[in-house]
Every structure is written in structure tokens, then in C-alpha cells.
Amino acid sequence: MQCCFVILNAVPVLTVTPVSSSYCNGSSTSITASGASTYSWAPGATLNTTTGATVTSTATTSTIYTITGTNAAGCTAAATQTLTVNAVPVLTVTPVSTSYCNGSSTNITASGASTYSWAPGANLNATTGTTVTSTATTTTT
């Protein structure tokens, strides 16, 4: 009588971790997979590579990536990761007056985003907020 052995290999359990699941258009983000020996990523058009545990996405639109992991026994598993690409805000800056007399002040208002940071702040009443007041004594950008 002959005896047979069957070896059952486990399928890898993939974990995918984005540094951030969303980023701004024109930027990039890294995605890392773990749980297997080798990895294949698709679609590859907006990735710096289609193999390896960590890839960098430069997608300009939201994208669903499929990651296929293969373990040492040759078993495969797949996972997906959605990255959301956010539009860059379009800023508008409106001075009440484009010029004013030395010793006076003028308000400058920004719109198009959620928060604002102003620089240089030396002649401004604040460095954050929608509207700031300039008391600059020389032409300043």
C-alpha cells in the first residue's frame, strides 16, 4: 500500500496601507502592501513601478489599484486600494485697493480654499484667515 501526502499551501493575506488615501492633484502618495513575497500592481500607468511592496502613485484622477500578492509557495491573493485625488483650490485674492498711502492700511481678502496662510507677515495684522489688513510702508508682494 502506498501512502500519499498532500501539502495544502495557505493563500497570502494581503494588507495594503496608503500613507494617505487621498492627496492633491499634482502631488503623489505611496502605497505599501504586505503579507506576500512578491507583488504586482495595476493599473500601472500612474505608478512609478508595477512590482515591489511599495509603489508611488501620481494619478491625477481617483483610481482603484489592484494588488496581487504571491507567497513563496506560489499561491496568490488580490486586494484593492482606492486613492482619491482632490482638486487643487483656485485662489482669488482681492485687495480693496491696489494702492494706499503710507501710514494707512488696506484689507486683502482670499477666496477659493478652506484655510489661508499669508506671508510675509511682518506688516499684516494676522498670518491666517480669509481677510488680513496690510500696513506695509513699501510695495510688498
The amino acid at residue 109 is: T
> Residues with Cβ < 8 Å from 80, sequence gap 6 or more?
16, 64, 65, 66, 67
d(CA 113, CA 117): 11
pLDDT digits (tens, 9 = 90+) for 126-136: 999 999 999 99
pLDDT digits (tens, 9 = 90+) for 53-99: 999 999 999 999 999 999 999 999 999 999 999 999 999 999 866 78
Tell me the CB-side half-sphere exposure of residue 119, using CA atoms within 13 A. Answer: 1
d(CA 131, CA 29): 32
Preceding omega of 95 cis (within 30 degrees of 0):
no
Share of the chain above pLDDT 70, in %: 97
Distance from CA of residue 139 to its chain's centroid?
A: 36
d(CA 55, CA 33): 9
Higher local confidence (pLDDT), 20 or 131: 131
